[in-house]
Structure 1
Amino acid sequence: MQEIELKFLVPESRLKGLMRQAKVKSSQVTQLAAHYYDTPDQQLAQAGIGLRIRKENDTWVQTIKAAGDGIAARLEHNAVLDNEQVQTMLDDNELMPDLTIYEDTSVAPTLADFKLKKLQKALTRLYVTDVQRTTRLLTETNDDDINSCIEVAYDQGEIIHGTDKTQQKTIQEIEFELVSGDIDFLFMTAKTWCKRYKLCLSTITKAENGGLLINEQDHSPAVDADLSQLQVDKDSSAPAFIRSVVHNCLLQILPNSSAIIAGSTDHEHILQLRVGIDRLHAALKAFADFSDEINPEWLSILEQTANLLGTYYQLAYIGSHIEPELQALGAPAVDWTTDIEDIKITPINTLQANDFQITLLELIAFTMSDPSIEPHTDQLACDKLAKILTKQYKKCIKTSKKIEAFSRLDDNDDIDEDVIDDSQSEDKLCNHLKELRYFSEFSIPLLSKKKSKKKTRRWLKRLAKAQSALAQRNNDSKYHAFYALKSATDTNALYGAGWFAAMLTDDPTYIEARLAKFRDSATFW
Structure 2
Amino acid sequence: MTEFELKFQVPGERVEALDTALRRGPVQVKRLRARYYDTPLEALARHGLVLRVRQEGRHWVQTAKGPGRNGFERLEHEVPLDDGDSTPDIERHAIHPVGKLLRKALGDAAQELHPVFETDVNRLTRTVEAAGTAVEIALDRGRVRAGKRSHPVQEVEFELKQGSPAAATELAQSWCEEHGLWLDPLSKSALGRRLAHGGPEGNPVQATPLEDKPESSSALVATVIDGALQQVLGNARELASGRGGDEHIHQLRVGLRRLRTALRELKDVAGLQALDPAIEPALRALFQVLGHHRDRATLLPQLEGVMEKAGAPSMKGWHPELPDVGGAIRDPAFQGAVLQLVALVQELRDAPQDTPLKAMRKSVATRLHKLRRTVERDGKKFARLPEPKRHRVRKRLKRLRYLSELVRPLYAPRDVDRFVKSLKTLQDALGEYQDAATARGLFEAHAKEEPTAWFAVGWLAAREHDIAQECEQACRDTAADMKPFWT
TM-score (norm 1): 0.83
The DSSP-based 3-state class of the residue aligned with 2:186 is coil
Query: In structure 2, what is the equivalent of residue 110 of structure 1?
Result: 101
1:393 and 1:127, CA in 2 relative to 1: closer, same or farther beyond 3 A? Answer: same
Displacement of 1:352 after TM fit? Answer: 1.3
Alpha-carbon contact 1:155-1:174 (below 8 Å) kept: yes
Alpha-carbon contact 1:259-1:269 (below 8 Å) kept: yes
Whichever residue aligns with residue 341 of structure 2, its letter is L
RMSD: 2.9
1:371 and 1:176, CA in 2 relative to 1: closer, same or farther beyond 3 A? Answer: closer
Residues 1:126 and 2:126 are matched in the alignment? no
Matches of 2:115 and 2:179, distance apart in 1: 36
The DSSP-based 3-state class of the residue aligned with 1:151 is strand
Query: In structure 2, what is the equivalent of residue 222 of structure 1?
Result: 204
Alpha-carbon contact 1:8-1:175 (below 8 Å) kept: yes
Matches of 1:322 and 1:485, distance apart in 2: 16
The DSSP-based 3-state class of the residue aligned with 1:223 is coil
* Residue pairs, 1:373-392, within 5 angstroms: 377=355, 380-392=359-371
Matches of 2:66 and 2:310, distance apart in 1: 50
Residues 1:251 and 2:241 are matched in the alignment? no
Residues 1:38 and 2:38 are matched in the alignment? yes
Displacement of 1:505 after TM fit? Answer: 5.0
| Counterpart pick for 1:472 among 426, 432, 445 | 432
Whichever residue aligns with residue 463 of structure 1, its letter is L
Matches of 1:112 and 1:518, distance apart in 2: 50
Displacement of 1:480 after TM fit? Answer: 3.5
Residues 1:317 and 2:298 are matched in the alignment? yes
Whichever residue aligns with residue 110 of structure 1, its letter is L
Matches of 1:157 and 1:227, distance apart in 2: 37
* Residue pairs, 1:52-201, within 5 angstroms: 52-86=52-86, 97-111=88-102, 113-121=104-112, 123-140=113-130, 142=131, 147-162=132-147, 164=148, 167-201=149-183
Unaligned runs of 5+ in 1: 87-95, 407-419
Matches of 2:81 and 2:406, distance apart in 1: 46
Matches of 1:28 and 1:383, distance apart in 2: 54
Query: In structure 2, what is the equivalent of residue 463 of structure 1?
Result: 423
Query: In structure 2, what is the equivalent of residue 352 of structure 1?
Result: 330
TM-score (norm 2): 0.89
Name which of structure 1's ranges 290-299 and 251-260 shifts more when overlaid on structure 2.
290-299
Query: In structure 1, what is the equivalent of residue 239 of structure 2?
Result: 260
1:390 and 1:99, CA in 2 relative to 1: closer, same or farther beyond 3 A? Answer: same
Alpha-carbon contact 1:36-1:53 (below 8 Å) kept: yes
Query: In structure 1, what is the equivalent of residue 248 of structure 2?
Result: 269
Alpha-carbon contact 1:285-1:299 (below 8 Å) kept: no
Alpha-carbon contact 2:210-2:406 (below 8 Å) kept: no
Matches of 1:296 and 1:109, distance apart in 2: 43
Identity rate, percent:
29
Bigger radius of gyration among the two? 1
1:139 and 1:23, CA in 2 relative to 1: closer, same or farther beyond 3 A? Answer: same
Alpha-carbon contact 1:466-1:511 (below 8 Å) kept: yes
Displacement of 1:482 after TM fit? Answer: 2.7
Query: In structure 1, what is the equivalent of residue 276 of structure 2?
Result: 295
Query: CA offsets per residue over residues 466-506 of structure 1, 9 Å max, x none?
Result: 12321122113222433454455557867866764564354
Unaligned runs of 5+ in 2: none
Alpha-carbon contact 1:486-1:493 (below 8 Å) kept: yes
Alpha-carbon contact 2:35-2:53 (below 8 Å) kept: yes
Whichever residue aligns with residue 179 of structure 1, its letter is K
Whichever residue aligns with residue 70 of structure 1, its letter is N
1:330 and 1:211, CA in 2 relative to 1: closer, same or farther beyond 3 A? Answer: farther
Alpha-carbon contact 1:462-1:514 (below 8 Å) kept: no
Query: In structure 2, what is the equivalent of residue 416 of structure 1?
Result: none
1:116 and 1:79, CA in 2 relative to 1: closer, same or farther beyond 3 A? Answer: farther
Alpha-carbon contact 1:427-1:471 (below 8 Å) kept: no
Query: In structure 2, what is the equivalent of residue 413 of structure 1?
Result: none
Query: CA offsets per residue over residues 109-139 of structure 1, 9 Å max, x none?
Result: 4336534322531x33222211000011111
Aligned length: 481
